[in-house]
Amino acid sequence: MLLSVSGQVIPGTRMDSKGRFWSFAADGLSPSTTYDLQLSDPDGVVGDAWPLRTFPEKDAEPESFKLLAFTCAGGADGLGISDTQVFKPHAFRQKLFDAALAENPDAALAIGDHIYYDLRGNEHPSFGRNSKWMKFFSGWYFRLKYGSFDRTEAIIGTPNEDVLVAIGDEQIADLYGTRFRSTPIYFISDDHDYFENDDAEEELVTFPPDEFSRSAHKAIADLYYPPLPDGPEPQWNRNYGTLTFGRLFEATLVDCAGHLTLGDDARLIPETVENWVVARMKESQARHYALVPSHPIGWTAGKWREWYPDVVAPEGVTGVVTNELMTGVQGQLTTKAEKYLWQRGWWDQHQRLLEGLSQASQSSRFTFSGDIHAQGAISIEASSELTFDEPVVSILVGPVGTSDATWPSAARGIPAAQPEWLVSEELHATSEVNGFTVLEFTSTEAKLRLFACGGFDRSKGEDGRVQSVHELVI
């Protein structure tokens, strides 16, 4: 397979065993230049040509930059169980994408959960795991639709490759199509991209990921989306990176799942990566800087792998609590109960990162993320003992494919909320809604628009088109 870049022919590198997936690396391109791209094989051209523009040089002073961000686009096309819809149909998500691309972004960030196929060491997802009927149904459905992994075998070059490709084709290739081929897009990984939900129970703890989950994560990333640029180490280019648009904007992109640790020095990102992140905060020459972790700063849904100790528990409970998905547990978010296997070191790292971000000297510095299936914006004034002269803005950008069973209020019994140990002001009410965020930067202003596309109440017949827009200047 060959790629022509305005006449320069680039040979491809085959990424799979069957010749369906190819990677191309073109060197020597000029910055801020639009190139015409065309694929070909021995039989001739493949598809239509398309344009793609390179970014400015790192020391350039572009007048403006427009960035699209969204989260949780994965999931089977319209998967439902009885009268409950787990994920939105592709048609809904594609209308949302089309509305987002109509804003003509210069680049896009897909923040975590590009696929949902949670293994837990068996062939059933994490939801409904205490129901024998649900386990049977989900296991049967997954095996029929995608096949079954053999965890003792490699991914590429074995029958596991067919299972992986069946998942990736439906949840990534069929969903995105070629919509983003003229919009540079980077994919930040989170827990589901390692084929697990972040669960901790006495019988099973899903993270850190085992060797098979790491291999599956790398394989699906190698086949379906590009590596992250300018990270701390080349071997981590699927986990950490930097999005730079001249000296106007810089974002540090961080996977909070793949290398988390437990124990006395627990962290959601390794120490060397944390040091790199803090250095970028201090040293970045960009006018606007953003920290983009795969798991958000400023919200909790009582999940295990959060920066925060908040857990869903019945009133008055003070013992150890394990939150399980879709069990109908009634309760409220609290820090008086103990979240099973939650690590204090995660909070300590949160404090170091938030302090570094608050002290950054850019014209604007803030954080945005995804994972929690909601959209909103807050201004963090204090975090436990830390207080900030200038509050830190945090944004939930909005999910793409969430439906009945996967909103926090359905899966965990409570909507996402601010953690007890933070003091924050609500800039835009947190709402369970599908949507996306467009961030716009000039030399003098950072503005964001949160686009809500509905999807919580199916009786309204919302189809993925924009329902409302909220604008903030930060």
pLDDT tens column, 61-109: 999 999 999 999 999 999 887 788 999 999 999 999 999 999 999 999 9
Q: Are 64 and 444 in contact (CB under 8 A)?
A: no
Given CA atoms 54, 55, 56, 59 in this order, what sign does their dihedral have? negative
Q: What dihedral angle (degrees, nearest 10) is formed by the CA atoms of 370, 373, 375, 379?
A: -60
Q: 274 and 127, same structural domain?
A: yes
82 and 18 belong to one structural domain: no
Number of neighbouring beta carbons within 10 Å of residue 459: 5
pLDDT at 129: 52
Specify the pLDDT at position 310.
96
What are the distances in angstroms from CA 156 to CA 143, 160, 164, 193, 415? 19, 7, 9, 17, 40
Shared domain for 285 and 342, answered yes or no, is yes
Calculate Rg over the CA atoms of the chain.
Answer: 22
Q: d(Cα 85, Cα 81) in Å, to the nearest integer?
A: 6
Same domain, 102 and 21: no
Number of domains in the chain: 2
**Statement to judge: residues 48 and 65 lie in one domain:** no
Structure tokens at 88: 């939105």
Q: Which residues of the chain have pLDDT under 50?
A: 133
List of residues 6+ apart from 283 with CB closer than 8 A: none
Q: Which domain holds residue 290?
A: 60-473
Residue at 105: amino acid letter = P
Residues 39, 66, single domain; the answer is: no
Domain containing 318 — which CATH number?
3.60.21.70
The verdict on 106 and 192 lying in the same domain is yes
pLDDT digits (tens, 9 = 90+) for 383-400: 999 999 999 999 999 999
For residue 435, what are the CA distances in angstroms to 303, 406, 456? 22, 15, 11
- List helix spans (H) across 127-284: 132-145, 159-168, 174-176, 211-224, 271-283
Residue that is last in its domain, among 34, 54, 74? 54
159-168 and 211-224 are packed helices; what angle lies between their axes, rounded to 10 degrees?
60
Residues 172-195 as b or e (16 or more Cβ within 10 Å = b): beebbeeebeebbbbbbbbbbbbb
So what's the pLDDT on residue 139? 64
Domain shared by 4 and 74, yes or no: no
Which whole-number Å values give the CA distances from 462 to 69, 98, 171, 276, 471, in the listed order? 21, 15, 21, 43, 22
- Check residue 120 and give its pLDDT: 72
Residues 420 and 467 grouped into a single domain: yes
Last residue of a domain, one of 54, 75, 98: 54
How far is 176 from 180, CA to CA, in rounded Å?
A: 7
Closest Cα partner for 322 from 171, 455, 177, 202?
A: 202
Based on the fold, state whether residues 17 and 161 are members of the same structural domain: no
In this structure, the answer to whether residues 152 and 264 fall within a common structural domain is yes
201 and 289 assigned to the same domain: yes
Q: Which of 39, 54, 69 is the last residue of a domain?
A: 54
